[in-house]
Chains A and B, each alone.
Chain A
Amino acid sequence: KAGVTQTPRYLIKTRGQQVTLSCSPISGHRSVSWYQQTPGQGLQFLFEYFSETQRNKGNFPGRFSGRQFSNSRSEMNVSTLELGDSALYLCASSLIVGLGSSTEAFFGQGTRLTVV
């Protein structure tokens, strides 16, 4: 069974540009969540999508947005990039069970974004 796939693995962008990252969850998983990992702030929750709807959002500025498609694939977009957006962006997929609860999250290898 294929794991969570994130593309691209590495990106270098210039300040002010925008970027789109992609995440393909495990087949059958409809919940996709995104995390930003930096040395200073650690792992921080960005947002979660379930059945094409944003279910939860972390404390990030509006420059960070996302969406989910009908096949559960998700994209996140960062506009007007800043140097501080340099980070490892991780995507996680989960199976939703019961009354909205979910199983453990399975993570992709991440996209390493460098803003210069």
Chain B
Amino acid sequence: GAVVSQHPSRVICKSGTSVKIECRSLDFQATTMFWYRQFPKQSLMLMATSNEGSKATYEQGVEKDKFLINHASLTLSTLTVTSAHPEDSSFYICSASSRTWGHEKLFFGSGTQLSVL
């Protein structure tokens, strides 16, 4: 199946710093990328949806100025957690779909565990 590469897999940062998470589609064009957040023992909650070349659409309650999403190319989307605080510590995971296969399939990155000290 298609591969979505997500980096870094784990990051520890100090409070107040910014962290960038990258998701790359390796063998397909990801026309749409979804960013999810998952707290321990809980389900995945959608944060935002981004279409290549467009501004991301954020879910209610998600601060767009804090979680900056860029989807500038068909193979790369980034999520930047700005001025991170301990409450931002979570597992972040991206998923990509493509117009090529009618968005029938969604492939996930391997996730990023963010720990803010």
Bind each other: no
